[in-house]
Structure 1
């Protein structure tokens, strides 16, 4: 239990838990933020409950993997980075006398797909000690190959295992066939209430647009957010990709000649849009001589990408992708983002030649932080017997989750719901993040002098500085 809250009655996973604790702490976890002042009672008890839904939703990803042709037996492309190199560029703290992540558990939230043990073995022979990988099924679905999700699972395991080779990596997989919200809820609940492995950090490989056709409604988000409250109470940090289509996301999906046809709109992605989640955006990282030469917003929207599976079938054809970011229409602005330049979400209307705002909304801004996501300068990934380039915000999420695991290890505690502290410390100019000052994700720009922007959030991490600031905070 985190920061003074405890479970009085654990109830069931689906029915809720009875909690007791200070009002200020409970309010922080119900999105009011830890700095808000309160009057009246200082203590209360109540029930955190979860609604049940079975609505079907689409999983939306830009390409996360690019095959690179290699000569002979093949080797990682020199234009890419290893996950370890990126961790060093971001100054991830590392213990002196044991492996990074030792004694910790990092959970990977997957909806479908699997990975090849040969790919994983070959990758870790090249880059890092093989971590302990455990599988926890969250359903009875068949383990059928799914190229898109196989890529994401392989990338998640390889990146997370490189950053935290001493940690136990637990793969929670629903093996879903229809991607119902009930499936997402079940796999999340399985991980959050896993008393055997007790993950301290979860990285979600999935995202979908808010309020879109056949996607997540306001009521459904509210139900899932209550599950995220439980994770925070248990001291679990949840990282999720902010999306891979910049400031726009698919709001309607159909098929034309066997290929997906997407209608785009200015909506954010869930679960990153929840204020209880650490939303992970993407950058384009250029390094020379072991130092960062340049880091800008990841944006390949001007490029058209076509991705084929091993049989030559086109599995994706469309935009090249960009760091997801913008303003949630379903989640209000959290207290920890008050006073920042989070733009309003404005709905416009036109009657004849008269154009005027119809509605303004002050919502949760995403992302919170960012990491390298550019496919052309991506991460070394071994998939389907080939070396390739991994990227997109689906890669940023396990990279940043790995940082939180290392911080937990170094501090000897669970950081849990860390968002308010990261924002507060960065506002105090503790230099926790490298602010991105150049680039755009389509609808929003990164500019000098801003603490936060809707492209990369607070920026990319400076891990040692984050550790030092948290050590002082927890003294």
Structure 2
């Protein structure tokens, strides 16, 4: 599995800012405005972040991000933040610079969406699906009702077994990045047990909403949100598109284009403030939005919720992430592959 974070290398990383300067990239207030998120909600809910390897600076970098934007403290000392290994202990795996950037992105995006949420970081000892899957199971064992997975890999015939081993958790929201390579499906986004999260380009404008969105990607393919029709995973009952007999990706979306990216603070991979994109930004953000919406029903697959409330989402109708001559790579009215049913407009689409 590979992490789905994309860092802007044309913007110099900065440890400190000049007085009254804001970091480059979208911050929590921008995202709250763009997606019409409430001022409160999610208090004491736990969002789990599953990633491979260790980020030794995770907690202090999270503190810097939250302090910059005036978000409540989230630390080990006040019980808001916890870091464990895939077995539930503190025997953390080896550190890895690339995955540390991913971890910072994930923690910051949950914070932006749901400042009142508790955050559980579960670090797997490798990027193999079995270890990452064990971390997912550990997150659920620890009581998290929202689990974000910002990684993906090629689909395989054995994925249906992984569905049952790692992602079949009724009453738990599990989000997964749809991918960063344009049209084409990846796992675990293709699992029918997860909410597959695609990506958009998000820009301020003069509309009533104040923002506009299009598919992250181009019709030529390459960098962009992943989407498509699964090769192996069965179509869930709540998905009604007719051009794909199996599971279609994605379900919903949020900002992922690095060109319209988000501010992230990371001092292990880089030197402070950076601008990130990738569906590694959108998946943890959507997990936080689910947490704002409230605890899922105990027998539910929360991926189904947006399909019951499509009118409560911002429908993204422009752009493409490749060439396929269908809605699976082209945005349009209603459901499409790159952005699913759309992006958050409040939290109503993320409840039963």
Structure 1 distance, partners of 2:183, 2:220, is 14
Say if 1:246 and 1:299, in contact at 8 Å, map to a contact too: yes
RMSD, matched Cα: 2.7
Q: Indicate how the Cα distance of structure 1 residues 463 and 363 shifts in structure 2: closer, same or farther if over 3 A, else same.
A: same
Q: Indicate how the Cα distance of structure 1 residues 295 and 270 shifts in structure 2: closer, same or farther if over 3 A, else same.
A: same
Q: Indicate how the Cα distance of structure 1 residues 324 and 83 shifts in structure 2: closer, same or farther if over 3 A, else same.
A: farther
Deviation at 1:276, TM superposition (A): 1.0
Q: Which of residues 226, 242, 245 in structure 2 aligns to 1:324?
A: 226
User: Is 1:404 the counterpart of 2:286 in the alignment?
Assistant: no
Counterpart position of 2:72? 129
Structure 2 distance, partners of 1:62, 1:408, is 27
Q: Indicate how the Cα distance of structure 1 residues 146 and 300 shifts in structure 2: closer, same or farther if over 3 A, else same.
A: farther
Which sections of structure 1, spanning at least 5 residues, go unmatched? 1-57, 212-217, 249-267, 304-318, 345-361
Q: Indicate how the Cα distance of structure 1 residues 372 and 151 shifts in structure 2: closer, same or farther if over 3 A, else same.
A: same
Q: Secondary structure at the match of 2:309?
A: helix
Counterpart position of 2:238? 336
Q: Which has the higher strand share?
A: 1
Counterpart position of 2:305? 421
Bigger RCO of structures 1 and 2 (CA < 8 A, at least 6 apart): 2
Structure 2 distance, partners of 1:89, 1:226, is 36
Q: For residues 224-239 of structure 1, what are the structure 2 equivalents within 5 Å? A: 224-228=162-166, 230-232=168-170, 235-239=171-175
Structure 2 distance, partners of 1:202, 1:246, is 24
Structure 2 distance, partners of 1:181, 1:447, is 31
Structure 1 distance, partners of 2:128, 2:26, is 35
Q: For residues 3-402 of structure 1, what are the structure 2 equivalents within 5 Å? A: 58-59=1-2, 61=4, 63-64=6-7, 66=9, 68-69=11-12, 73-74=16-17, 75-78=21-24, 80-95=25-40, 100-116=41-57, 117-127=59-69, 128-131=71-74, 132-139=80-87, 143-176=93-126, 179-194=127-142, 198-211=143-156, 218-219=157-158, 221-228=159-166, 230-232=168-170, 235-248=171-184, 268-288=185-205, 291-299=209-217, 321-338=223-240, 340-341=241-242, 343-344=243-244, 362-384=245-267, 385-402=271-288
Structure number, greater radius of gyration: 1
Structure 2 distance, partners of 1:225, 1:285, is 32
**TM-score computed with the length of structure 1 as normaliser:** 0.64
User: Is 1:433 the counterpart of 2:313 in the alignment?
Assistant: yes
Say if 1:68 and 1:387, in contact at 8 Å, map to a contact too: no
Structure 2 distance, partners of 1:70, 1:244, is 22
Say if 1:141 and 1:175, in contact at 8 Å, map to a contact too: no
Number of residue pairs the alignment of both structures matches: 332
**TM-score computed with the length of structure 2 as normaliser:** 0.85
Q: Indicate how the Cα distance of structure 1 residues 60 and 85 shifts in structure 2: closer, same or farther if over 3 A, else same.
A: closer
Deviation at 1:60, TM superposition (A): 5.5
